[in-house]
Amino acid sequence: MKLRVVAGVLSALVWCGAGVAEPLDDAATSADRVKAHMGFLASDLLEGRDTGARGHEIAAAYVAAQLAQQGVKPGGDNGGYYQSLALLSFRAADEGRLTVRAKGAAPAPLVFGDDYLPRPYPTTQQLRLSAPVVFAGFGIVDQKAKRDDYRGINAKGKIVAVLAGAPASFQTEVRAYHASIRTKFAAAAAHGAVGVLLIQTPAEESRRPFARLLSHRGIWDMTWRQPNGEYYLPGHEAAPLGYLSLVGAAKLFAGSPAPLDQVYRDAEAGKTKSFRLPVTLDVELNVETKPLTSVNVVGVVEGSDPVLKNEVIVITAHLDHFGIKEGGQGDVIFNGAMDNASGVATALEVARGFAEGQPPRRTVAFVFVTAEEKGHAGSQAFASYPTVPGRLAAVINLDMPMLTYDFIDVVAFGNERTNLGPVVRRAADRMGVSLSPDPLPQESLYTRSDHFSFVMQGVPAVYLITGFGGDGARAFGAFASHNYHQPSDDLSQPIDYRVGAKFARLNYEIARDIANADARPAWLPGDFFGDLFAKPQQMAKKAQRR
């Protein structure tokens, strides 16, 4: 993505408190606190902080105690620091059974592990389905781009096969949205489909091999219960069925109007065509469920302005990780030092800055969410039903800052989409940090962390990660290859806690400038996500973009 300041924004918006923000305190002391927080949260004693497990409960109690010690007021249920959530874990109970039937041919059972991986929703514990199959390209419907992958096919009552990922022709954050499986499920449901299959592509195979997906087969997904008693399962009307490998896709597309190789080539060129496949798919899937409870930890620094205090700036960091590896040997604890003890530790430092400094004009809430690793259930629940009074005005997300190198740049996801962009740039400039474009657009990072739960509620969002400048690309690559979502993401890594203090300071300055601004946070006119999710009062006036 191109990072630019939209012409006219600076002249149209008047930001208060845009000078150097009040510092936290000296960097060495701040670094010591980051080290102490991470040392506790990523210790073996917390057993990987799995959602609903005792390690996460201890971590939540620790964070609540830290907020209380700082003087940050409780912002959860019933005057406490917790927002209590009823959750439902779910996963495929067994291998299931998928069988392809073509006219005049013997039934062709697909082979678990070679051809497919089941990934059902918990709408029923026993899914039995038989329906014709249609191919709908990437499953994208985007009026702004004048693209409708469902054009020319009738998906009602059928199983829809869609390609994983999204074309590279889309802007990186829009591409991330269209690549999201939940976006694909929702589009299929809107067209009356009864089931959805995700088709692996050669491009996706090179980035995220099917074998890696298979290795995660036992991981639980998670959803949350809404106040009406129903679980949050968007697009559930089109039952998610699972993933097909390249081999499995070849079996499904045998005898199709277009050879599968041509389908893949067209997809790479951005010219996918949709059509009906001459097959019926028989599906038998069984779902295992497990109810549990967990909490978001919520603290509040009340705004000082009698009007603006009703607008809430939210700072998020997920507290959960993956717990203990089932059936493993040796090091089996997913400590989650970078993911996301580093984000929690730096968010606690941001909270300290607000608690010890001059009160902000707007209210600032600190939300340490649960179940991010299981599908963002905690942030979805808070964004949908916040426990703090007032209107959620903006969100800043701290997820997995890499503290193994001294960053010289940051990637600010969502920076160009709202009138917060100039604020982020000025804060970065003050600290001598540059802004860089997304170095990994194929990873769809914009939709893969908790801020996106707020985006879907129309809340302007900024999500910073440490950039790839200097030693960043090497350090990030080494972490991704060896430690990401592995037990080795622990405190033995070469962590520079001074970098944690620096990252906390940058996010503090951004948050304080937003909290003290005259202009309310708003999406820029014509922005893709603003047009898709925002209410009129969440949009900037058209005069602000020229």
Domains of the chain: 9-80+302-540 (3.40.630.10), 90-287 (3.50.30.30)
The amino acid at residue 152 is: G
Where does 52-194 show beta strands of DSSP type E? 73-74, 82-92, 97-102, 108-109, 116-118, 126-135, 141-142, 147-148, 159-163
* 0.75 exceeded by pTM: yes
Q: Are 318 and 450 contacting, i.e. CB atoms less than 8 angstroms apart?
A: yes
Closest by alpha carbon to 107, among 276, 254, 258? 254
CB-based burial label for 225 (10 Å; 0-12, 13-18, 19+): middle
Contact yes or no for 363/51 (Cβ under 8 A): no
For residues 37 and 341, the answer to whether their CB atoms sit within 8 Å is yes
CA distance 166 to 155: 20
Per-residue pLDDT of the chain (546 residues; tens, 9 = 90+): 333 322 332 233 233 333 334 546 667 789 999 999 999 999 999 999 999 999 999 999 999 999 999 999 999 999 999 999 999 999 999 999 999 999 989 999 999 999 999 999 999 999 999 999 999 999 999 999 999 999 999 999 999 999 999 998 999 999 999 999 999 999 999 999 999 999 999 999 998 899 988 888 888 999 999 999 999 998 889 999 999 999 999 999 999 999 999 999 998 888 889 999 999 999 999 999 999 999 999 999 999 999 999 999 999 999 999 999 988 789 999 999 999 999 999 999 999 999 999 999 999 999 999 999 999 999 999 999 999 999 999 999 999 999 999 999 999 999 999 999 999 999 999 999 999 999 988 888 888 999 999 999 999 999 999 999 999 999 999 999 999 999 999 999 999 999 999 999 999 999 999 999 999 999 999 999 999 999 887 887 764 443
- What is residue 341's DSSP assignment? I
Task: Give the H/E segment covering residue 248.
Answer: helix 246-252
